[in-house]
Chain A
Amino acid sequence: MEKAKTLFDVIGPVMIGPSSSHTAGAVRIGYLAGKIFGEKPDKVTFRLYNSFAKTGKGHGTDKGLLGGVLGYDVDNENIKTAYEEADKLAIVYSFEYRDDYTRHPNSVDIILENKHIGKMEIGGISVGAGEVAITKINGYKFNINGDYDTLILIYKDKPGMIYRVTALLQGQNINIASMHCDRKAKGKQASMGICVDGSISDYIINELSKIEEVYLIRNIEVLKK
């Protein structure tokens, strides 16, 4: 789905430098990963690949990713001191740098942990000009780029689940802009990423949580751009 060009694609964003792909993009990936995890993590591990790994230090990719997990926008001046900010919140963080040319040049896996949720592994890529995508959550394929409010579900793979979710959205007169499903194996767990026009209400989240064998529900709001 190609986005319509706007004036503000070429003037702006107002951001912390030096690189739209390696700094602002990193902030956005971290931000989305933090929202998908949904709680304050105790521990975060960032596994950076290829160009992110090679030039990340000089571009502040590490600080951008961490700042994003802390909930910062791309123009937050605390990005530069993200290490110190994370220390204050007692979040343990570490970075690993790897080469893997089967991966996108600017990619990262973020492993977030706390006692309540356990561990989540979220993969993201920075595709240029500050545009990003979350491509994987716990091994399931997604394509979340922050252009829409997005509903994320991981649930038991069984007949009727997609119907129940989309019927619930339809009942609230919500239009689905795009939808992406994945599963690891028949009858095991499956995933759904649904981008919608407008927003997803607390009522919908509440109703979804009543469906049995839904393991993860997240509502990721559109990114401020």
Chain B
Amino acid sequence: MNDLKNFADILETAENRGKKIYEICQMLEAENTERPVAEIRERVKNIIAAMKSAIRAGLESEEKSTSGMCGDDCAKLINMYKNGKSLFGELHKKILKYSLATVEQNARMGKIAACPTAGSCGIVPSVIIAVAEELKVSDEREIDALVTAGLVGKIVSNKLALAGAVAGCQSECGVAAAMAAAAVVELYNGTNEQIINAAALTLKNIMGLVCDPVAGLVEIPCVKRNAFLAIYALVGAELALAGIKSVIPVDEVVDAIKQVGEMMSPKLKESSEAGLATTPTGLQITEELSRQWNAQ
């Protein structure tokens, strides 16, 4: 099965064998790494435990990041919810809290699980864990969901490096959202085709997302972007569960994202030479931080 490199192959193999996508993924992983499936699932389980610890720690902390630019946004959200205010229902509220909790934990040098990267670490865990809690599913189902998410990330990464410096934020937070969307469909017992479509629909709509962090740090706009894209993943999942299909097949969407990543100016790929990083405020923050750090 080593030659399953794209989504079409995975889907076809899963359908022919009457398996779910996560089952094919863990079989592939077992084959490639010569480890039993149980051991792979155990490792995934440990990563989920780390994700949950990060959420717990993040929900309780208001500590600022080293730069002082972020760290107390999750607390603001929690505070509003305590006062009974929100536009959203419980699931969406939980996802927003969990995503900010995780990514702020990352910014303050806490322990997180990169998924697929550290800068996008708030998206997949917040969505999977909040949905799993709402549905009251077993630990095993959480593992199924994260393996499904992992498959999506892995297949995209066959064609495209998941790094802002190579393909912009579309390959970090964007791919994380597609991973999360696919995982949600799995948790709602959607079909393999729906899983693939959730990834495709989500990926299509993050195309062109640039990586323009202020002062080069994983904070502005990364922290809040995790919250936005976590909710956004639900749109992909919801549409796919309704049977809505991506007209452009997912493998072609990945090719298009790769192409856009190649055409994207290097100034918009993590180098902080354009976009938000070079706005007057962005530049002012950069100068202020550089003064502080040079003085140390």
| A54, CB-defined interface residue at 8 Å | yes
Q: Which residue of A lies closest to B110 (CB)?
A: A17
* Contact for B119 among A5, A12, A18, CB less than 8 A: A18
Bound-state Cα–Cα, A21 to B166, Å = 13
Chain B nearest CB from A28 CB (Å) reads 13
In the bound complex, do residue B154 and residue A10 qualify as a contact, i.e. CB atoms below 8 Å apart?
A: yes
Measured CA separation A40–B147 after assembly (Å)? 41
In the complex, whether B132 has a CB less than 8 A from a CB of chain A is no
Contacts A7-B40, A12-B113 given; does A128 touch B151 at CB 8 Å: no
A6-20: contact bitstring with B at CB < 8 Å (1 yes, 0 no)?
111111111111111
Within A41-60, which residues are at the interface with B (CB < 8 Å)? 51, 54-55, 57-60
Taking CB atoms, residues of chain B closer than 8 Å to A130 are 114
Q: A18-B107, A77-B111, A128-B166 are in contact. Are A10 and B118 (CB under 8 A)?
A: no
CA distance A120 to B6 in the complex (A): 46
Instruction: Give, as a whole number of angstroms, the nearest-CB distance from B39 to chain A.
Output: 12
Residue of B nearest to A81 (CB): B109
Q: Specify which chain B residues have a CB less than 8 angstroms from the CB of A24 in the assembled complex.
A: 114, 118
Assembled-state Cα–Cα distance A4/B157 (Å)? 11
Name the contact of A11 in the complex, choosing from B106, B107, B153, B293 (C-beta under 8 A).
Answer: B153
Q: Are B161 and A11 in contact (CB under 8 A)?
A: no
Q: Is B138 an interface residue (CB 8 A)?
A: no
Interface contact A5-B109, CB-CB below 8 Å:
no
* Interface of B: prevailing SS: helix
Contacts A51-B216, A79-B109 hold; do A58 and B66 have CB atoms under 8 A apart?
yes
Q: How far is the CB of B60 from chain A (nearest CB, A)?
A: 15
Binary contact readout B164-198 vs A (1 if CB under 8 angstroms, 0 otherwise): 01100000000000010000000000000000000
Enumerate chain A residues within 8 angstroms of B44, measured Cβ to Cβ. 7, 11
- Do B217 and A14 touch (CB < 8 A)? no
- The minimal Cβ–Cβ distance linking A146 to chain B, given in whole angstroms, is 17
Is the beta-carbon distance between A10 and B293 smaller than 8 angstroms? Answer: no
* A213 sits at the interface (CB 8 A): no
Q: Are A9 and B154 in contact (CB under 8 A)?
A: yes
Instruction: Say if the beta carbon of A218 comes within 8 Å of chain B.
Output: no
Q: Does B215 contact A (CB under 8 A)?
A: yes
User: Inside 8 A of A129's CB, which chain B residues have their CB?
Assistant: 114, 117, 161-163
Q: Using Cβ atoms and an 8 Å threshold, which residues of chain B touch A9?
A: 116, 154, 157
> Are A11 and B47 touching (Cβ within 8 A)?
yes
A7 contacts B166, C-beta separation under 8 Å: no
Q: Flag if A17 contacts B215 (CB, 8 Å).
A: no
Q: How far is the CA of A214 from the CA of B123 in the complex (A)?
A: 51
Query: Is B29 among interface residues, defined by CB-CB distance under 8 A?
Result: yes
Q: Which residues of A contact B147 (CB under 8 A)?
A: 7
Among A4, A7, A130, residue most surrounded by chain B Cβ atoms (within 10 Å): A7
Q: Is the CB of B114 within 8 A of A20?
A: yes
A141 at the interface (CB under 8 A from B): no
Q: Are A12 and B47 in contact (CB under 8 A)?
A: yes
| Among B106, B163, B179, contact of A128 (Cβ-Cβ < 8 Å) | B163
CB closest chain-B residue, reference A10: B153
Cβ distance A113 to chain B, nearest Cβ, rounded Å: 23
Q: Is the CB of B32 within 8 A of A6?
A: yes
Which B residues are in CB contact (< 8 Å) with A6? 29, 32-33, 154
B29 partner residues in chain A, CB cutoff 8 A: 6-7
B48 to chain A: closest residue by CB: A11
Interface centre among B65, B114, B153, B161 (most CB of A within 10 A): B114
Binary per-residue interface labels of chain A (66-99) against chain B in the complex, 1 for a CB within 8 Å, 0 otherwise: 0000000001010110000000000000000000
Return the contact of A10 from the options B66, B67, B150, B166 (Cβ within 8 A).
B150
Are the C-beta atoms of B111 and A14 separated by less than 8 Å? yes
B129 within 8 A of A: no
A17 x B296 contact (CB < 8 A)? no
| Besides the known contacts A7-B25, A14-B111, A17-B218, 16 further A-B residue pairs in the complex with CB atoms under 8 A apart | A6-B29, A7-B151, A10-B116, A10-B179, A11-B115, A12-B47, A12-B114, A14-B47, A14-B114, A15-B118, A17-B118, A17-B121, A18-B119, A18-B217, A57-B293, A58-B216
Interface residues of A (CB under 8 A from B): 4-21, 23-24, 51, 54-55, 57-60, 63, 75, 77, 79-80, 128-130
Please name 14 pairs of A and B residues whose Cβ atoms are closer than 8 Å in the assembled complex, sorted by A. A4-B32, A5-B158, A7-B25, A9-B157, A10-B116, A11-B116, A15-B118, A16-B110, A17-B109, A58-B67, A59-B216, A63-B109, A129-B114, A129-B117
Q: 7 smallest A-B Cβ distances: which pairs?
A: A17-B106, A10-B153, A55-B216, A10-B116, A14-B50, A58-B217, A18-B218
